[in-house]
Amino acid sequence: MSSSLQAVRGWVVVVSAGLLLAGCDERNPHAPEPAARDAGTPDAAPPRARIVVTARVRLEPTALARAEDPLNGMVAFRTTSSGVDVEAYVSGCNGGGPFAVAIVDATDCEPNSLEAQAWARGDGIAPINCIGPTGPGRLYYARPNDGDGWTIGGPAKSNVLGRALLVRDPRSDAVVACGVIERGEDVARVPLPPDDRPPSVDTRAQVAGLCFAKQFSAASGGDCADSEALVACAADHCELGACLETCAEQVACIDSSEDACASMFTCPITEACSRCENDVWQCASGYCPELFGCVPPITRDGPCGQLEACCALQGEGAAACLQGMRLGGILGGDATCVGAMQDWDVLSHLHVPCKFKD
């Protein structure tokens, strides 16, 4: 994968990290059955916890990795109602990236396995993006349960367990880290309260990070994201239900306030609540970027249009550059594109230099 992906996606990751100081009609066998309840009956049974099936990978450096501070870390797989999520956290980026990730037709990390072809369903995974020259690398990727979806322990043609996962350096295309996908422990994900019970959807969205994101795009004048959609996404991919319980005191305070976002600064918050909210916000920005904040305006033929035209010139890196540019537009509109056009790290990674209009 070309390093030009870092030209935009890497810049967007830095902005996002700063904010948080992401068979053909085969069904997912792990998808839960809906819990039956009578929403209008006060004594209706609460929603049942959803069992999340997990897998994990311990990434270890290969012989081709750097001798000093090589890339290493952990990758987690989790089932959702619509597929399988992948989340990675690595160290040893050393200013590199984005690092390509693939699942291959191999069951170990021996030298011959590092040259194995991608598994039939093992490509298309988002890369690991690094935060700055010395920061860690993160990956958030949701594999939908479509024709080439995954399972954890399901049919052989879709089962990820026992397969090797490789990470490649974009500069040399060498495999610098490898690990085998192993079964993890099942986790009971705390469900959201019934829709007719407190807290309100606006309060739930605030805990999911909507109000925090509004501060980032407050000057955009854009339309705010759909609170219900953000809550649904954060509940499926992140630990929103558990965080609502951990932050019960703060949530009750916010729910009784006229302005949910303003109360973020006045309602009491514990250290445990602060940690879980930060985790949910970061998770939601990774899996629900289009819902995480307000949609800022993008001027026709403006900065994002210029950046898109530049990405189209990047040869093999064009598709990745365009993907990052469009994500940046979702998160920050014209402001993000202007920042990327003026960022030295972005410009230095473009294979084909571009000149932008003022």
- The pLDDT assigned to 348 comes to 77
The residue among 296 and 138 whose pLDDT is bigger is 138
- CA 54 to the chain's CA centroid: 17
CB 163 within 8 A of CB 104: yes
Assigned token pair, 302: 């403006």
The residue among 72 and 146 whose pLDDT is bigger is 72
| Per-residue pLDDT reduced to its tens digit, 287-333 | 988 786 565 667 767 888 888 888 888 776 676 676 667 666 656 67
- The pLDDT assigned to 97 comes to 75
pTM: 0.73
Whether the per-residue pLDDT at 12 is higher than 80: the answer is: no
| Per-residue pLDDT reduced to its tens digit, 81-127 | 999 999 999 999 887 778 999 999 999 999 999 999 999 999 999 99
Whether the per-residue pLDDT at 11 is higher than 50: the answer is: no
Q: How confident is the model at residue 70 (pLDDT cuts 50, 70, 90)?
A: very high
Q: Which residues contact 286 (CB under 8 A, 6 or more apart)?
A: 16, 22, 87, 138, 140
Q: Going from the N-terminus, what domains does the chain have, and what CATH number goes with each?
A: 53-187 (2.60.40.200), 189-292 (no CATH)
Q: Could you tell me if residue 173 is left (phi over 0), alpha (psi between -120 and 50 degrees) or otherwise beta?
A: left
